[in-house]
Structure 1
Amino acid sequence: MKFGSGCQRRAYAKDTTMFLQTIDAHDRHQVLIDDRNGFYLLFADTHEVGLGRSFTPHWVGEMADRRTLEAAVRWFARRRDRWQAWGALAKAVGHATFDRHMRALIAAEPFETVSGTFVHIAEDPCEILLGKVLDGSNGTRQDVLHQHRFTSAAARQRFCTWFDADRNFEQIGAIVLLGYQTGAVAVATALDDIARDAAAAGVRARRKRHC
């Protein structure tokens, strides 16, 4: 996995699609992975899955390998705001028609694999951009997932100092995963916590030097 080299200044498109603000853990539909015999991705009704018996998913896709499976999971996660409409469509038109619909949609918007995570400094002195570097049939692109505004420019600087000094790539990756699972509100809290903890660490260091 590749990562960006620290906080870098970057402009961004204002109409970028980002994380949902919050994600309902009790969605009526869900995406499941079945890798017991091959690599399968299932889009299914949450209630039927919860019954604990055999069920027929809305859609099943067989992936060539685990890398493609992970790309498919991300593809669905980035379109979570469409799940309810997809579920309703599947029930209305039947499995065969819905399968054709999904395959046409995937052909028009192909899966992309993740090659890295980035943190960029936005033009606003209090903001950063968090996202992924994606490789697909149309080349490599950067996908902004979250635009975060710290409480002050100093707070942003503390975050960037923390990130650049320790190369906390794994923690940033975990924050991105948090965004997919629970939404932008949780991501914002995590980033603010880092800036606050960095400030507290700085105060402790200054006190220690004066002792």
Structure 2
Amino acid sequence: MDIYNFLTVVSVYAIPVILAITLHEASHGYVARHFGDTTAYMMGRVTLNPLKHIDWLGTVALPLLTLFLSGFMFGWAKPVPVNERNLRSPKRDMMWVAAAGPGANVVMAVGWAIVMKVLLELPANGVSTFWVAVSEAGIVVNVVFAILNLFPLLPLDGGRIVASLLPDPLSYRYARLEPYGIFVLLALVATGALSFILNPLVRGALNQINKVMGLR
């Protein structure tokens, strides 16, 4: 990717990505606090301040590098700490804590779709093409975040949901695979298998949002 296109993409995606990461992580802490664990709250992670959730390597350096080199953005945020032992019903409540992040992304995707719909309904001379592009990026970013995080692989949220739903003996065995999950995820990214799996799901979700909202 040449430097001009790189800077253009960064300027369009910066706000949606920061909001998607911040609200995703903060929602985990908020729901954990609701169910009795104040760990994230005491550490200042139940906040809309993006600096509290940014990992400078995983959220800034690596995404920019992978975007510039390949046009594909990959990275991670600083995970919100949750002490399951403090939850009133650890196994059940952890499912809702995990689901909160992707749920927040779904809400944001719908929110950005509404913003885009409003912008497109304005008179042509009153529409900022930049903000239309930002709102469209917001839809895409949050759909990708939601679907990716629901992938049934620990340490992703989908893996934690699966662990919560499995019977205790299977859940315990499944949880023991978590140290290897990040390597499996990186392998899926490197081989293109993750894109092969997720792209149809992302396209389907985007088509549904566009259809419901009457977007182009």
TM-score by length of 2: 0.27
Greater percentage in helix: 2
Greater percentage in strand: 1
State the structure with more CA Rg.
Answer: 1
